[in-house]
Amino acid sequence: MDREQQRGALIEFLRTIQKPDCPLAELDDQSGLVESGLIDSLALLQIVSYLERSHGVDFTEGGIDPEELRSIQSILDLIARAAPK
């Protein structure tokens, strides 16, 4: 899956967990997901689960860095670095 496909899949997932009063379409890839009000801090755990399940990202060794989950771009960068090849 290339980065654009990963982005599309991530956006579809974010639509399932977003708050209804903050449209995803209004955000760019660098916008903070929590800061924008799109998701709350508990949704970050759902993102971690999604990344483990869908992309094979393993958080056991390095732990979870909230900055890596801050925006669409940072999540895609994390996938590129951490997902098994």
Residue 24: pLDDT band (50, 70, 90) is confident
Handedness of CA 32, 36, 42, 43 (dihedral sign): negative
The model carries a pTM of: 0.91
Query: In a 10 Å sphere around its CB, with 0-12 CB exposed, 13-18 middle and 19+ buried, how is residue 33 labelled?
Result: buried
CATH number of the domain bearing residue 59 = 1.10.1200.10
User: How far apart (Å, rounded) are the C-alpha atoms in residues 4 and 78?
Assistant: 14
Q: What domain count does the chain have?
A: 1
Residue 70 above 70 pLDDT? yes
Instruction: Give the residue numbers spanning the domain of 12.
Output: 3-82
Predicted local confidence at residue 51, as pLDDT = 97
